[in-house]
Every structure is written in C-alpha cells, then in structure tokens.
Structure 1
Amino acid sequence: MPSSTTTRPALADLGPIQQLRAGRLARRLTQLGLGLVLYGISLAMIVRGALGSAPWDVLHQGLSARLSLSVGTLIIVVSVAVLALWIPLRQRPGLGTIANAVVVGVVVDVVLALVEPVGSLAWRVVLLAAGVLLNGAATALYIGAQLGPGPRDGLMTGLARRTGRSIRLVRTVLEVAVVLAGWALGGPLGLGTVLYALAIGPVAQAVLPWVTVRLPARPSASPSAPDPGDGSLGA
C-alpha cells in the first residue's frame, strides 16, 4: 500500500468551483460515475441478501414499507432532506454531492427490479458479503474523485465541525438514530447491519489510497475531510 506520508494523494478541501477547476476532470467524472453506480449496485445486493441492511437503508426500507414508495425513491428523498440540513451547517455541496443524491437511488431501483429475491441462505450470505466489499470499494472510488462528499457524509462532517465532536462519535450517534427509526418503521435490522458498520470503514480505507486522484495543483488536505479510519465514509 502507498505510504500515507509520501505517495498517498491528499483529499483536498475545495469549494464547488475549485473542484471543477482542480484538473483531471474527465478522469474524476468517470471515476465518480463508476463509484456511484457500483455503490447503488452494492446496496441492492445487500437488500437482496435480506440479512439486514446498511444503517441508512434500514431507514429507507422502513419508510418504503410505510409509504409504498420504492427504496431508491426514498434514498433520493432522504438525500434531499439531508442536503437541506447542510444549509445551517454552511456545508458546500459539489457536483459529486448532487450526483450522489440522485444516481444511487436510481441504480438501486433498477437493480432491484432486475434481480429477484434470493431464497437460498448460502447465496444470501454471498450477496451480503460481496455487497459490503463492493460498497467499501465504491465509496473509495467516489470520494477519491474529489468532487464533493455524499449528502450523509457532509452532514456528519458538518455536525462534527460545528459541535467540536469527533466524526466517529457523530457518525455513531446519527447511525444509531436512523437505525432505530428505521427499525421502528419495520426496516430490516440484522447481521448485515452489524457487518456493514464494522467493515465499511476498513474496506474503504484499504482502497482509498489507490483510487484518490492526485490533483495537479496539490491543494492542502482538509482537516475536516472524512477519515476512512473513522468509518465515516458512505453515501
């Protein structure tokens, strides 16, 4: 793995316009799109595994059951609601933030429409494990494109900055809250929820050094950027 002090590209703290002007835009847009599509596919795999969903998806599926809307639609609706919370936190969305809010939900719905529920427990375990691994890699891809964090990531980093608390603590409080709310609505809490919470940070951290795009201008690394070691990465 590249050394974190010598060869690892830095995650930069850039405003929306700076993100677009930072260079290597074609490579970064391609990587962003690939990361978001794979992220949506991975979430659908975890849903079809039916062994418990990612923390925010427990909420999405709980709302879906109550409102008779698709999971993908609820991912988009919740993303927009979360983005509204950025306003008092003075967070700056980027192109990747807006794309994340829309693309992931659309891809989830498409994959769920194409892939039937799986009955075999063995295959459900395979879907869950593969989905979590793919999700971690996809998270690294879209964050490494340096075009803005996902809506939920930005909420976590914004709250951490405003309250002076660690990203790890803010992430834990938020995700416990959404899991409990989703579970109360009938969302699927289970082994997959625990596995996702434990594995997503380490997997993304392992992949991120290899896919973070080195920007020609070499902006300073942001002290408020999500640290994959905190497990704070995600849509």
Structure 2
Amino acid sequence: MFQPREIGLDQERIEEISAGLNGGALDERVHVWWSGVRWIVIDGHHRHAAYTLRRETSGETLKVPVEAHPQFSLGEAMGAAAKINSRERVTITREEKGNNAWRLVCLGDGSIAQQAEWSGVSKAQISIMRKTHERLLKRRIKGPIMIDRGWDWCRETDKGDTQREFTPEAQEAMAQEWAVKIGKALGGKATECPDILARALEIISLALPARLIESDAFSDALDGTGRKLLAEFDQCRIEENEKGSIEVEENEDF
C-alpha cells in the first residue's frame, strides 16, 4: 500500500545500502505510521530492509533514525509516502501515479482536493476516478479487486459492456482459471513449500499476504487451528506494541 513503485523492493539496492552502513546509520529517516494495531513503514522500505540485512549478517545492533506519524489518517499516510518518493531520483511512472490515486479513491479517505494533493494528480482526474468507482460498485465489483487490478484495468472495464456484471459466478470462474494456471506452474510445490510461496507473494506485492488473510475465501478455508494461530499472532503483536509504548514512556526524558 505504501510502495508507490510497482517494482517493489530492489535486492541489489538493499545490499548496496547495507554495505555502506559501516556499523552506523543513514542520515535520511525511515518514516513510520501508526495503523491502530502496529507501526508500518510508509517510506524508507529499502533503508529498513538494509538495516535488517546488516543486523542479520553482522550481528550488530543499529540505531535507526525514524520519524513517526501517528496523527495521519490512512490517506494522509499514503499521500506522505507518495510525496517523499517524488523527491527521489527514480521516476514514478504515469501508471504508478494513477494507481496511487486510484487506491485513495477506492479507500474513500479524504476530499477530492486532499486526494489530488496526496497523489499528485489533478482534481479533475480524481473526480473522473470517483465516478468510475461508483459505476463499478454498481456492477458489484468489490473494492479490493479494483485496487488489485489497478486504474487502467478498471477504466477499461468501465468503458466496456455495461451489461456484463462482475458476479460471484464470474469471480468463481476466474478463480478456477487461475487455479489451473498456478497448478501448471508450481504443481505440488505450492503445498510442499508454503513459506517459499508466501515469500513469492510478498515479492509480488507487500500488501498481498495481508489482503489474502482479509479475503472471504481465505477466511472460509481456515480451519479451527488456523483461526487460533491468527488470533494468537494478533494478541502477541498487541502485547509487543503495548510493551514498546511503555518502554518509550519510561525513556522519554532521553
């Protein structure tokens, strides 16, 4: 969600940054946002990964410069990530900028002016996207699907046959088609190596594993053991965050 560029993380860039740390810290800060459950990196994904790599390879404990944004709404956090990235030398493509704006529209956070400012597109473009979003909702296309497919796909779908509904039957047919393709590509490896499959999905999109957990199909597929593990994981994260907050309060004079 906070990675404006579609390519995601560049492993060579991570290794280059990590090699240049020399046991110290970079001047540029990692920006984090409080989601209500946990802290999430909204900018500095490569720097964060480089610090992690350095710690794993050297065993050193590094102090990382961080700027926290607990006051941001989701839209403001996405906008901040887009603005910070726009100052970097690596160019954000038209498609990436459009998808960033489209995500904001689908999430419904902020006014037209705010979404335009956060995403860097015009207010007229945001208005067009909003109208497209309304029409696609009437055709029963769910928000998560719109975000996953991106603005270009949604725009073309909106221009297409207005009588063609994105019904549960159509979604099931698409799921069956994808299952055949995944089965041909991976065979039994998908079930034999779940950790590798999970990592592959994370490489495709950092948000994809979480989105899968939130999906109705994934929720229905979980048995009692799986649901218990997720509940325990969430409880551990909550306890870790509460512990971290207490430690910050105890050391706030420093």
Q: TM-score range by the shorter chain?
A: under 0.3
- Structure with max Cα Rg: 2
Q: TM-score, normalised by structure 2?
A: 0.25
Q: TM-score, normalised by structure 1?
A: 0.26
Q: Could you say which structure has the greater relative contact order, defined with CA pairs below 8 angstroms and 6 or more residues apart?
A: 1
